[in-house]
Structure 1
Amino acid sequence: MERINFNQERDLGTTLQDSSTFIKQNFLKIMKPTLTVVMIPLLIGAFLMITGIQSMYSDMATMADPLQIYGAMAGMIPAYILMLIAFVLAYIMFIGYIKLYAEGQDDITLSDLTPFLKSKGLSLTLSSIVLIITMYLGMILCVLPGVYLAIVFAHFFAISIIEDTGFGATWKRSFFLIKDNWWSTFGLYLVTYLIALGVMILVYIPAYAIMAMGMFSAVNENDPSAMMNSVSTGMSYIIPFYYLIGLVMSLLYAVVSSFRYFSLMEQKDGSSERELINQI
């Protein structure tokens, strides 16, 4: 099995091709320790989300004020927090694995990745909250600033973990790497998003079809409560699969963003050339 060299420039096609190859070669090796770490917060978060949705839909038919739904959604905040933690930890595991792989290490285990969790877990969770708020503010201000920032910060985790930088340095480095490369990077992530969307649609079609059949039956019976119960029951089956598939899609984004990070770093810094000079 040929080892992939991360330290080189890649165009869109090569990045996607090498990302696919890397995932095929390392999927089980990288997912096994990741699931060990994130399974508990992922399952608890999914359970709280299911409970909250069931409660919201069961009460929806009796809500006098439509704004009450926002109160019900606020009750699911603990579930959102747990999901955020789970996906941040997963990203740390993914990119930590890639860093060690790029450095030439073989047989990467959970014990090798644990130091990344200890050093970056809290800081990147808090950083994620700041970045999410920043991008949402950009979306509110006119959408385009939010899209721009989403591409800028697509490599935030890779920079923070691979270069071991703090929030401020990672923020500045994100803008430095993306300068003069925004449109090409946007094209890469647009294609990646479409690929992920296609996979998720194919996976969810059977689940949503079953839920739609239940809703159709309830509509024919002219029973709003039965319709709401049908929706909440269907969501209960879909949500766990939704987050598991989301975890796999996160691996895709993490690998693509890491390849893009190394490509931008090679273009901006010429890191492999410096390494070659140092070896001489």
Structure 2
Amino acid sequence: MRYLPFTHASHFLKERDFGQKIEASFDFVRAHFKPLGKALLMIVLPTALVIGLVSAVLALQWFSTLQGLQNSTQAKNNPAAIMGSVVSDVFLSPAYISILLGALVLITTFVLTVYGYVTLRMDTAPEQEVTVSAVWQLVRQRFVGTALALVGLGVTLGVLSFAVSMVGGLLSLLLVGSGGMMAGFGAVLMMCLIFGGTTYVSVTLSLFLIIWVRERLGFFATIGRSFRLIWGKWWSTFGLLMVMLIICMMLMFALMLVTSLISSPLALIKSNGTLEGTARVGFILANALSTLLSLVIYPLILLALAFQYFNLVERKEGESLHYLVDAIGQPAPEAQPQVLLPDDEGEY
């Protein structure tokens, strides 16, 4: 069976059914494993390792802090004191805020590297390879804007979720005022509105990042573009995202089995939060290994969403026709010898 080399825009801009989009994600990784992997290793991996190691060290410290609070006599008689200490010592600590900022840097770099490589591959001549320096230049140019866009996207999701919650709350109050069974129905209705509204907006905006990187629109224009493209295809996008998440979760579970050979989670529990010596080193090394191997898994989700975006663009706008028109009058590419495998039918 022959696979697309994904070296021309027309290889991306195709109408694909559900299974073909998943297949295309794996085929793209197969075809560009070396150059894309090199870009991820040289651009994303250093940041990921630093954040992963720092997170592992801080996680050990926080676990020790929580164990100390639980074991203290004063805290046992005052659960509110435990929550207050957790908020002040963990969630409001400079270390935790630094990790959040580091996570923003990592996500921004990761998204720009993957989608930057895809867009550069589409715009680069088929015989040329997309270099790490070209991807790094795109990452540097778009980093600040993309980081702010991610923050804005999070704020937008929060505001929309709050608005849906307010509407659901008002409806619930009206039903609760009626008493009886309507009170319970109002609570269920509020939860359904919150969950359903948040899910709908989250799936719709899942195309935001590929649109942002490839089409270079403004923030609100990108949001509007996401809603227009996904109109009528929300369920297929939701199903694709769920299937890819399940696949990646299974791969991550296998990854956890691998890393558990280095550091068993039971060691953390039995030590009462006081990992020492080889156990502490093993925990940190396992976290670093998990970070390294996750660079192979997480791009699959981004690529699946990218091929859904290309599928919707082709279905609604037929963008590949523009590339065919531009190719009129240009010399035909040189034919490359093909090796047919035993299961290939050939061309007649």
TM-score, normalized by length of structure 1? 0.87
Q: State, as a whole percentage, how many aligned pairs show the same letter.
A: 23
Aligned to 1:95: 115
- Tell me how far apart the structure 1 counterparts of residues 29 and 249 of structure 2 sit (CA, whole Å): 18
2:87 is the alignment partner of 1:70: yes
2:307 corresponds to 1:272: no
In the alignment, structure 1 residue 214 sits paired with structure 2 residue 267: yes
> What's the counterpart of residue 5 of structure 2?
3
Q: Which amino acid aligns with 1:32?
A: K
1:91 touches 1:250 (CA, 8 Å); kept in 2? no
3-state SS of paired residue (2:54) = helix
Describe the shift of the 1:212–1:55 C-alpha distance in structure 2 as closer, same or farther (beyond 3 A). closer
1:200/1:136 CA distance change after superposition, 3 Å:
farther
Q: Aligned in 2, Cα 1:129/1:238: closer, same or farther, shift over 3 Å?
A: farther
Q: Which amino acid aligns with 2:86?
A: I
Tell me which residue corresponds to 1:16: 22
Confirm or deny: 8 A CA contact 2:13 2:319 kept in the other structure. yes
User: Which segments of 5 or more consecutive residues in structure 2 lack a partner in the other structure?
Assistant: 70-74, 76-80, 166-193, 329-348
- SS of equivalent residue, structure 2 residue 136: helix
Q: CA deviation at 1:160?
A: 1.3
Give structure 1 stretches of 5+ with no counterpart: 219-225
Partner residue of 2:306?
258
> Retained in 2: the 8 A contact 1:45–1:80?
no
Contact 1:41 1:83 in 2 (8 A): no
Structure 1 residue aligned with 2:231: 179
Q: Matches of 1:257 and 1:212 in 2, distance apart?
A: 33
Which of 17, 21, 41 is the aligned partner of 2:47? Answer: 41
Tell me how many residue pairs correspond in the alignment: 272
Mark the CA change 1:134 to 1:43 in structure 2 (over 3 Å): closer, same or farther: same
Alignment of 1:122-141 (within 5 A): 122-136=144-158, 141=165
SS of residue in 2 equivalent to 1:108: coil
**Residue of structure 2 aligned with 1:109, choices 124, 131, 138:** 131
Worse-matched range after superposition: 75-84 or 8-17: 75-84
Q: CA RMSD in A?
A: 2.5
Q: Is residue 2:214 matched to residue 1:169?
A: no
Q: Is the 1:135–1:147 contact (alpha carbons within 8 Å) kept by the matching residues of 2?
A: no
Amino acid in the other structure paired with 1:107: E
Post-superposition offset of 1:266: 0.8
Please report how far the alpha carbon of residue 277 of structure 1 lies from its aligned counterpart in structure 2 after TM superposition.
4.5
Structure 1 equivalent of residue 274 of structure 2: 229
Counterpart residue type for residue 12 of structure 2: F
Q: State the one-letter code of the partner of 2:215.
A: E
Change (3 A) 1:119 1:254: same
Q: CA deviation at 1:274?
A: 3.6
Corresponding residue for residue 209 of structure 2: 157
The offset of 1:138, in angstroms, is 5.3
> Does the aligned pair in 1 maintain the 2:52–2:287 contact within 8 Å?
yes
Q: Deviations over 1:153-204 (max 9, x none)?
A: 2121211111122212211111111111100111111110000000000110
Q: Distance in 1 between matches of 2:156 and 2:285?
A: 33
CA contact (8 A) 2:25 2:304 kept: yes
C-alpha contact (below 8 Å) 1:56/1:73 kept by paired residues: no
Q: Which of the two has greater helix per residue? A: 1
- Structure 1 residues 192 and 175, CA, compared in 2 at 3 Å: closer, same or farther? same
Does the aligned pair in 2 maintain the 1:137–1:146 contact within 8 Å? no
- Give SS of 1:227's match: coil
Q: Are the aligned partners of 2:5 and 2:31 in contact in 1 as well (CA < 8 Å)?
A: no
Match of 1:249 in 2: 297
Cα 1:187–1:66 shift into 2, 3 Å: same
**Distance 1:104-1:133 versus aligned 2 partners, 3 A rule:** same
- For residues 197-254 of structure 1, the C-alpha deviation after alignment (integer angstroms, 9 at most, x for no partner) is 00000110244475244256x3xxxxxxx32224994753443233333332331122
Cα distance between partner residues in 1 of 2:14 and 2:38: 28
Q: 2: distance between equivalents of 1:180 and 1:85?
A: 34
